[in-house]
Structure 1
Amino acid sequence: MPTTAPAARTSTARRTRTSSARRDDEAPLIPILARKVREVEAKAQRGKLGPTNRVKFQVIAFLVREERARVKADAELTDGARSELLKRLDGVATILAKTAARDTSLIQLLEVDQATSPVAKRMRRDWLLESGAELPADELIITDAAPAKATAALVPPQLAERQVIPPQVEARQMAHPFLAPDLALRAPRETPRRRLDGWELMGPLYKAFETGAGGGSACMELPPVPEFDRLSPKGLEIMPHQSRFLEAVREGHRSFLLADEPGLGKTAESVLAASVADAYPLLVVVPNVVKMNWAREVERWTPQRRATVIQGDGEDIDAFADVFIVNYEVLDRHLAWLGEIGLAGMVVDEAHFIKNLTSQRSRNVLALAAGIRERMSHPLMLALTGTPLINDVEDFDAIWRFLGWTNGTKPEPELMERLDETGLTPADKAFYPAARSAVISMGIVRRLKTDVAKDLPDKLVADLPVELDDEYGRSIRQAERELAQRLAARYRRIVEARGDRGLAIGEIDEDVVRLVAQHELDESKAAGSGEDNVFSMVRRIGQAKALLAADYAVQLQRSVGKVVFFAKHIDVMDAAEAHFAAAGLRTVSLRGDQSATSRQAAIDAFNNDPGVSIAVCSLTAAGVGVNMQAASNVVLAELSWTAAEQTQAIDRVHRIGQDEPVTAWRIIAAHTIDTKIAELIDSKQGLALRALDGHAVEPGSSDSVQLSALMHLTRSALGAA
């Protein structure tokens, strides 16, 4: 690809438009660039500028310079036409500059010599062909750079000093100084050239899931239920949907995104999968709160195997165990010895925790996974999450890398082969459902409770509006009005300063509404717990609802028995616990500052002690890895900012072992922003329904709930619906 402006002019001079180019568009590439830059801008506004869109930004910047050079040099253009085309190119460049100002890491991508990767070259070529340009043969064929033979060190330099080697690990290494070689590994053969090698494929793959192309649930074809259950230990029985998954492992499949809805037994499936695949030693990376539960599940489902939980520097671990369980927070100090112990499999629980590829947590997990795949020909790799998509379909990126399906810029050979077998390209509409099916066949397993657990009752989310009619409640509504008026005033100042730009009377400029809301959100995050921002307002609403929600939980408990009470803030939990104590009810509490032992004791007491009536739980600390099916009613005293967090909380009760209908009672403060937040949370379910479950749900906004709520306040203050 050209890397200088003169070279760009030389390259573009070779391009000629076909006779089919429309007469009314002297530069058919410009509308394509305008469309693409708007796509990138929209992603940047939502803070979701993933690797694909960064490359897209890069290529747009390059082609703007290239096209400007071509327009200036085109002697056939009149001065007026040339001026108009340059003006349009300036518009695209302006959007690029504004996007870079929003995300300053993009500034370096504006450099001319940045767009040199094979992915960028393919993207540039495809857009030029779409515009009707004819390219020379040397620009049509794009080859990938040869992969580097040496891989990056497992332990980055900044973590080298933190590495520990527990004494027991040294004993194991002395007892087994040599790892058994994996004879299935062979020197890598030259990959044959495939038809899709020249195409940029990551963007189309994400699009295939974002649109739910082809419909249908995202679940690979699984074997039928075996006639006999040969896996469960005495006294236990696996369910049919678990048996089908384990049969796939028995038949040789080794990499899975296990995305079953929460509560369908992913932990037990993973433990048994390791036994079926004989994937020992097995590493399990989990949130801190579920380490003890994982150890118990290993003992329960595979009593012949030993599990050890890594705490701190690991002084007390059993280095001769079969299963090593470590939480994300301490993984960084154990990378060295884990990378040398001969792991044959790896499980990442709550795999959406690694979606941020810039975090050290994600880099640690991906480095270990890459090391395992280098040493083993067919390791067992399991990514577990009931909510793989939080805000954007590119949340798949890190999970697919962990599983070895893609490397972030293109599919790995096995997936590439399956895509190539479709006989289609991204230029074909039929490619998208075929591509989605190809990725699913790699090992996505997604089952819904209503589909596979017929004896598991449905769950109902019921909203209970409450009126904040005391002085505190009135002060909250007044603060909300003042915030809305401040947002509206800022909107009016911007519109007046720039002119109405052709807006009809009463029409609202959504771009300005978004700008105002984003500015307020950024200020609110910087201010923290101030008295006049959206975060402090929502917290005050939670405080105002605390006793109302607690009182309802008391009434509910007297009617139905055990109740799980969820809140987001400690002061709301404290107020609720005091109210329950005054009512003579025994409670247990699950909070973020508890030890694993006391936490498990509280869970056991709630499930097994008839005298314990209510579990008071933190939304953030008790939303995963907790089984509380002794109750069938949940009270959500405060709303989360994400649909996934709410779902995880409800599914602590709605899971295998539950034999009663489950109802979650959301306490909503009427006539406040609380009502809108509940509506926005519900709307966020659409992404997973489209991408994973194949439902025909209209695409909604992928803006954060906070931003959408502030935009709603702004519109309301301006008199819009």
Structure 2
Amino acid sequence: MEDSLARRGQRPSGATRTAPRDQRRARDQQGILPVLARAVREVENAVDRGRVSPQSRTKFQVVALLAREERSRVKVADDLSDGQRAEQLKRLDGIGTILAKSAAREPDLFELLGEDAVVTDAAKALRREMIAAAGHEPEPEPEPAPDEAGPAPDKRVVPQSVISRQLANPFLAPDFSAAPPPKVEVQRLAGWELLGPLLSAFERAAGGASACMDLPEPTAAGKPTGLPLMHHQGQLVAAAAAGHRTFLLADEPGLGKTAQALLAAEAADAYPLLVVVPNVVKTNWAREAQLWTPNHPATVIQGNGDNIDGFADIVIVNYEVLDRHVGWLGDLGFRGMVLDEAHFIKNKTSQRSQHVLQLSERIRSWTPRPLLMALTGTPLINDIDDFRAIWQFLGWIDEKKPRAQLMATLEQTGLTPLDPGFYPAARSRVIDLGIVRRRKVDVAADIPARRIADLPVELDGQAGRSIREAERELARRLVARYRTALETRSAGVVVDGIDHDLVRQVATWESDDSSSSDENVFSMLRRIGQAKAVPAADYTAQLARNVGKVVFFAKHVDVMDVAEQTFAKAGLRYASIRGNQTPSVRQQNIDAFVEDPDVAVVVCSLSAAGVGLNLHVASNIVLAELSWTDAEQTQAIDRVHRIGQEEPVTAWRIIAAQTIDTKIVELIDSKAGLAARALDGSDEEVGSAVDLQVEALVGLLTEALAAEQF
């Protein structure tokens, strides 16, 4: 009976039929993917509300880690059909898209995606919970070695050698030898909100005056024996020796800011000195300290700092582990603090910024006139507002107003923000507090020129066709959204031709619509980068054979993997600089590229190797993937275009022709020179931050609408 019913497509009485759709739905709710999908939506909602708590940051990181692990598992799983594998990879792409869009709206989240990002105990615990929620048994936590144990969740670490130093000097007291800052009688400026006008003074940048304080001539005493010191470097050291104590050292990348900071600390006797740096340059800072100030021992904090020298004159710590050590660092009695790549703290709400500002405030409470130096060749990444955190670190302003020294000089101008003359006068007063900005063309004429050469490549085959079709589909979706908005908006509004205000609004809606699983600008650029990996690597190999050593930069790990495979097949030796390497391994790879003539290429992560490294043995760079900012691109190029370079530098930017890649290039180039306009005296007005994703969508929609009219 049941057989005959089955043959006729019927089910027997009392039987339950499970439709294929129900089966798929049940399968979709199994495993880790639904757990990740729920968690990533919670992160997305937190970003939308502007309330990215530490818990949300932890959840963001754990989702990224588990998604990365699941992708690797799915690619090689024997129990999946090709269709199932494709379906799960598509779902993982959707999760990755939401992560990318959330990070784009909250840029501090990007640091959690780095392979060198610290995985806290809270993140490890959440990871175990999510694996258990997926129905899997979490792998047991390895028992940490005594020197690798992480900090207790409710307690910051204090290295034993630091305790020894504290016990050796139990009566450490604040230094009140310097005169307290003068009391300021605020009269003319009472009641004025001044931080906005001060920033506006740099936006206007009128008069062609560059942003550099008057500096004294170098003295022989400021030049270390046997080491060449350039004139501009000696000037800053002389200023520190003369008593100046706060510097925003914004020299263009490649002009030797590290040496200047170390020698300024020696000239100011600012020991013990705290140096906060990105993880990738910790080892380099220790080397530079040994080179320039050999009489002042330096120690580098790794992890919990169990192996540091608590009695060292120079303590070097990276941003990523600062949260573990901020307690004892604030009590050690530092007389100086250097912040390398100071634009890392531009987001004042981030944890790293809060720790840095807390430490600088603590140091000022110990020593009324400590040496405080913020080092960055790109102090402005997106907006003039990026200055705020740096100025606060230096003690020029607080959360709401100028501090006493700046306020006193502003009162002396006799002007208020209602007076046009206030702005150039205020800009000058801020610069005099310690902004130092020199350009290569002015102070290092012996450094050869550089140029950026765009190299278009055609994306052939299925990958190219898929990318172009995805772009056309995105354009069609934008046009449909525009037409709908045009039809439903208030009556009486008539615009001839394309309504550019509505175009921008539609682009903003599309950018904010993170609920869609359709293609977006971020996912398309990721796919374009993957498609460009082989031609970019092939061109790099060709350069290496013809002109010598080449630096290859990429944003994503899979692009770096493809490049390294290509070089291996071509018989080229290469080194690799990635975020997941230990400092010693990273330094070994840097040394191999710099010192071994047979190592032809170094494959670099933009995030891990874009700052603080000296790779001037090469004069050719290949940028395989686009940066989202001109500053990131400039930092990468300046790993090669710097003091010591003897050849003209060429950066070959690989562009996917006939794709949105070309539009992104134009947008990035249009933002070039934000710091130069604010600091080098250009009369061009500096605008607010440009959302490149929105601008790219605006261009795409405008072109599609224009094409419809012809």
TM-score norm. by structure 2 comes to 0.76
Q: Say yes or no: does 1:323 pair with 2:332.
A: no
Report the alpha carbon displacement of residue 420 of structure 1 after superposing the two structures with TM.
Answer: 1.8
Per-residue deviation at 1:437? 0.9
Q: Establish whether residue 562 from structure 1 lines up as the match of residue 562 from structure 2.
A: no
- Are the aligned partners of 1:640 and 1:646 in contact in 2 as well (CA < 8 Å)? yes
Report which stretch shifted further, 209-218 or 598-607. 209-218
Give distance in 1, aligned partners of 2:676 and 2:183.
40
Is residue 2:413 matched to residue 1:426? no
Distance in structure 2 (CA, Å) of the matches to 1:695 and 1:187: 37
Aligned partners of 1:532 and 1:423: how far apart in 2?
A: 56
Count of aligned residue pairs for this structure pair: 563
Indicate conservation of the 8 Å contact 2:272/2:314, yes or no.
yes
Once residues 48 and 247 of structure 1 are traced to their aligned partners in structure 2, the CA distance between those partners, rounded to angstroms, is 45
Give runs of aligned pairs for residues 584-663 of structure 1, distance below 5 A.
584-663=571-650
CA contact (8 A) 1:503 1:509 kept: no
Question: What does the per-residue CA deviation read over 1:645-666, in whole Å, with 9 as the maximum and x for residues that have no partner?
Answer: 1011101101111111111010
Alignment pair present for 1:167 and 2:180:
no
**In the TM superposition, what is the alpha-carbon distance from 1:519 to its structure 2 partner?**
2.5
Query: Aligned pair 1:543/2:530, yes or no?
Result: yes
In structure 1, distance between residues paired with 2:686 and 2:263:
38
Counterpart position of 1:39: none
Cα 1:464/1:326, change in 2 over 3 Å? same
Indicate how the Cα distance of structure 1 residues 699 and 254 shifts in structure 2: closer, same or farther if over 3 A, else same. closer
Structure 1 residue 232 corresponds to structure 2 residue 224: yes
- Give the letter aligned to residue 276 of structure 2: V
Paired letter, 1:671? Q
Provide, for residues 574-617 of structure 1, a one-character-per-residue CA deviation record: whole Å limited to 9, x for no partner. 11111111111100011111111010111111111000000111
For residue 281 of structure 2, what is the aligned residue in structure 1? 290
Give the Cα separation in 2 of the matches to 1:283 and 1:574: 37
Instruction: Map Cα deviations across residues 542-572 of structure 1 (whole Å, 9 max, x no partner).
Output: 1111111111111111221000011111111
SS in 2 for 1:285: strand
Counterpart of 1:456 in structure 2: which amino acid? I
Please name the residue that 1:179 is paired with: 172
Instruction: Name the structure 1 match of 2:485.
Output: 494
Q: Which amino acid aligns with 1:196?
A: L
- Looking at structure 2, the residues matched to 597 and 522 of structure 1 have their Cα atoms a distance apart, in angstroms, of 42
Letter in 2 for 1:350: E
The equivalent position to 2:463 in structure 1, one of 472, 483, 486, is 472
Q: Identify which of 392, 399, 416 aligns with 1:408.
A: 399
For the structure 1 residues 552 and 265, does the alpha-carbon distance in structure 2 shift closer, same or farther, using more than 3 Å as the test? same
CA distance in 1, matches of 2:181, 2:406: 17
Q: Secondary structure at 2:608's aligned position in 1?
A: coil
Partners of 2:684 and 2:654 lie apart in 1 by 26
Question: Displacement of 1:481 after TM fit?
Answer: 0.8
Match of residue 355, structure 2, among 356, 359, 364: 364
Residue 90 of structure 1 corresponds to none
Task: Quote the residue 1:381 is aligned against.
Answer: 372
Residue in structure 1 matched with residue 505 of structure 2 by the alignment? 515
Q: Could you tell me which of 644, 647, 653 is aligned with 1:666?
A: 653
Q: For residues 320-359 of structure 1, what are the alpha-carbon distances to aligned partners after superposition, in whole Å with 9 as ceiling and x for unaligned?
A: 0001111111111212211111110111111111111111
CA, structure 1 residues 200+329, in 2 after alignment: closer, same or farther (shift >3 Å)?
same
Q: 1:703 to 1:159 in 2, by over 3 A?
A: farther
Aligned position for 1:214: 207
User: Which 10-residue stretch deviates more, 706-715 or 512-521?
Assistant: 512-521
Aligned residue for 1:607, secondary structure, equals: helix
Of 197-206 and 436-445, more deviation after overlay is shown by 197-206
User: Residue 257 of structure 1: SS of its match in structure 2?
Assistant: strand
1:55-114: CA deviation from partner (whole Å, max 9, x where unpaired) = xxxxxxxxxxxxxxxxxxxxxxxxxxxxxxxxxxxxxxxxxxxxxxxx9xxxxxxxxxxx
Question: 2:613 is aligned with what amino acid?
Answer: V
What does residue 148 of structure 1 align with?
Answer: none
CA drift of 1:516 comes to 2.1
CA contact (8 A) 2:278 2:318 kept: yes
Which of 216, 220, 230 aligns to 1:223? It is: 216
Change in CA separation of 1:340 and 1:701 when aligned onto 2, cut-off 3 Å: closer
Matched, 1:259 2:242: no
Question: What is the CA–CA distance in structure 1 between the aligned matches of 2:351 and 2:519, rounded to whole Å?
Answer: 34
- Is the Cα–Cα contact under 8 Å of residues 634 and 650 in structure 1 kept in the other structure? yes
Residue 221 (structure 1) shift: 1.0
Post-superposition offset of 1:502: 3.0
Moved more, 670-679 or 175-184: 175-184
2:408 equivalent to 1:417:
yes
Note if contact 1:372-1:379 (Cα within 8 Å) is conserved in structure 2.
yes
**Aligned in 2, Cα 1:480/1:660: closer, same or farther, shift over 3 Å?**
same
Sort the Cα spacing of 1:531 and 1:635 in 2 relative to 1 into closer, same or farther, 3 A: farther
Tell me how large the CA RMSD over aligned residues is.
Answer: 2.3
For residue 719 of structure 1, give the secondary structure of its aligned residue in structure 2: helix
Q: Distance in 1 between matches of 2:626 and 2:695?
A: 15
**TM-aligned CA deviation for residue 214 of structure 1:** 3.0
Letter aligned with residue 267 of structure 1: T
Paired AA for residue 523 in structure 1: D
* Whole-angstrom distance in 2 between the partners of 1:655 and 1:686: 18
- Tell me the distance in 1 between the aligned counterparts of 2:642 and 2:180: 46
Give 5+ residue unaligned stretches, structure 1. Answer: 1-45, 50-102, 104-157
Judge conservation of contact 2:667–2:695 (CA < 8 Å) in 1.
yes
CA contact (8 A) 2:576 2:603 kept: yes
Cα distance change of structure 1 residues 160 and 480 upon mapping to structure 2, 3 Å threshold: closer
Alignment-mate amino acid for residue 459 of structure 1: R
- In structure 1, what is the Cα distance between the partners aligned to 2:688 and 2:385? 15
Partners of 1:463 and 1:339 in 2: CA distance:
48
> Match of 1:436?
427
What secondary structure sits across from 1:641 in the alignment?
coil
Amino acid corresponding to residue 521 of structure 1 in structure 2? S
- Checking the alignment, whether the CA contact within 8 Å between 1:48 and 1:392 is kept in structure 2 is no
Residues 48, 705 of structure 1: alpha-carbon distance in 2 compared, 3 angstrom cutoff: farther
Q: How far, CA to CA, are the matches of 1:311 and 1:380 in structure 2?
A: 24
Say whether residues 1:689 and 2:676 are aligned partners. Answer: yes
Q: Secondary structure at the match of 1:621?
A: helix
Tell me if structure 1 keeps the 8 A contact 2:246–2:371: yes
Give the corresponding residue for 2:382. 391
Contact 2:296 2:312 in 1 (8 A): yes
Query: What's the CA shift string for 1:112-167, capped at 9, x where partnerless?
Result: xxxxxxxxxxxxxxxxxxxxxxxxxxxxxxxxxxxxxxxxxxxxxx9993311111
**SS, match of residue 270 in structure 1:** helix
Give the Cα separation in 2 of the matches to 1:672 and 1:193.
57
Equivalent in the alignment of 2:91 = none
CA distance in 1: counterparts of 2:152 and 2:690, whole angstroms: 35
CA distance in 2, matches of 1:272, 1:190: 32
Contact 2:406/2:429, CA 8 A, preserved across alignment: yes
**Letter in structure 2 aligned against 1:664:** A
Alignment CA distance shift 1:638-1:358 (3 Å) = same
Mean alpha-carbon deviation: is it higher for 185-194 or for 484-493?
Answer: 185-194
Closer/same/farther in 2, CA of residues 194 and 375 from structure 1, 3 Å limit: farther
Partner AA of 1:395 in structure 2:
D
CA distance 1:397–1:698, shift in 2 (3 Å): closer
